[in-house]
Amino acid sequence: MNPGLVIELTTGYWRFKVMAAAVDIGLFAAVDRHDEATSAELAADLGLQPRPLRLLLSSCTALGFLTKEGDRYRNSPVAAEYLVPGKGQYFGGFVRYNDMVGYPAWGKLQEALRTNAPTTSHASFMTSDPVVLDNFWDALFAISSFTAMALADAYDFGRHRNLLDLGGGMGSFPAVLCERYPDLRATVYDLPHVVEKAKATERISLHSGDFLADPELPAGHDVILLSMILHDWDEQTSRLILEKCHAALPSGGAVIICELVLDDDETGPEIAALMGVNMLVETAGGQNWTGAEYREWLTGAGFRDIATIPLLSAGANAAIVACKRG
């Protein structure tokens, strides 16, 4: 036995902070502008002194974000795809949001454990800070796009005609699903300052509102999607949301919960358990719930024929589908 796991976890933040700093100072964008560059060229481009840049380049190469041939650096495929603004599937907003909000909040985890209260003044989607808000929605859009593709592969939306994406943010799910299913139409339903960031199209409409305060949800949809929504709220609020979904659906309609779902014995998976802790530091009552809890809530709201579909995605490991019967 050796302390390898303890040491790896203790220094895990080193890796994140190196990546976050490289994104923030624009290292990967600079390398992309040059296609390939020497450290001297990058120092001039970024305005960094030789010593710190040398250490950053060495670390980013060791972590697999850069490759080096001779004295010239290039972005690795993963950096070129996910860390260069305007290229591929940019995850810079995800990195920035976690560096700006998540990392400091987790630094006060003991406080959250003792007080059962969030440790950040930025309540993600509720914040008025435009920088935080932009990074939050950029982060969510990046994650949601991949989850949407996994859901499109796993569930047949060809049986539906009108999707309501509850708390749909910038509309990543409707964009992916409507492209995959040509007969599907969708509505993004979210807070007014969020909906204005989404893009309406011929088949995607926007509806501003507050699904907690509004007495009822928009009608005319035969499937309602709740992607990474219920983990933000306590049990009572989650049950209320599901009851509103049931009331808004026609007979034969379906609700789909996409989440990182905890095992019923609460021993894993690791990402769902850790996301639950993230909800502790960022929300007043949220947590990641077990499949058994979701099934109980759905049954209590009047849904039947509950099925769990495994997903392989960073944003969700399962889609829990339930139907409304007349």
Tens-digit pLDDT profile for residues 216-247? 999 999 999 999 999 999 999 999 999 999 99
Supply the CATH number for residue 23's domain.
Answer: 1.10.10.10
Q: Which residues pair with 319 in a beta bridge?
A: 258, 309
Q: Report yes or no on 195 lying in a domain.
A: yes
Which of 34, 52, 82 is the last residue before a domain boundary?
82
293 domain residue, yes or no = yes
Contact 241, 229 (CB under 8 A): yes
Confidence of residue 17 (pLDDT cuts 50, 70, 90): very high
- The answer to whether 155 and 319 are in contact (CB under 8 A) is yes
Residue 34 designated active-site: no
Q: Which of 160, 168, 175, 159 is nearest to 191 (CA)?
A: 168
Identify whether residues 58 and 145 lie together within a single domain.
no
Phi-psi region of 31 (alpha: psi -120 to 50; beta: other; left: phi over 0): alpha
The 10s digit of each residue's pLDDT in 274-296 is 999 999 999 999 999 999 999 99
- How many whole angstroms separate alpha carbon 182 and alpha carbon 225? 18
Q: How many CB atoms lie within 10 A of CB 253?
A: 21
Rg of the chain on CA atoms, in Å: 22
Number of domains composing the chain: 2
CA distance 21 to 240: 41
CA-to-CA separations, 106 to 4, 97, 284, in angstroms, rounded: 23, 13, 15
Instruction: State how beta strands 72-75 and 185-190 pair.
Output: unpaired
Q: Residue 122: its pLDDT value, please?
A: 55
Structural domain ending residue among the three candidates 82, 106, 140: 82
User: Which residue from 157, 262, 162, 259 is spatially nearest to 217, judged by alpha carbons?
Assistant: 162
Claim to verify: residue 220 and residue 320 sit in the same structural domain:
yes
Q: Please indicate, yes or no, if residue 89 is contained in any of the structural domains.
A: no
Boundaries of domain holding 148: 98-324
Indicate which residue of 122, 160, 221, 231 is catalytic. 231
Last residue of a domain, one of 82, 115, 135: 82
Q: Considering Cα of 31, then 33, then 35, then 38, what sign does the dihedral take? A: negative
Mean pLDDT of 205-224: 96
Q: In Å, how far are 26, 90, 144, 198, 257 from 140, measured between CA atoms?
A: 21, 11, 6, 12, 16
Mean pLDDT of 122-126: 53
The CATH number for 231's domain is: 3.40.50.150
| Residue 91 covered by a domain | no
Residue 282: the pLDDT is 92
Contacts of 319 (CB under 8 A, 6+ apart): 151, 154, 155, 256, 257, 258, 308, 309, 311
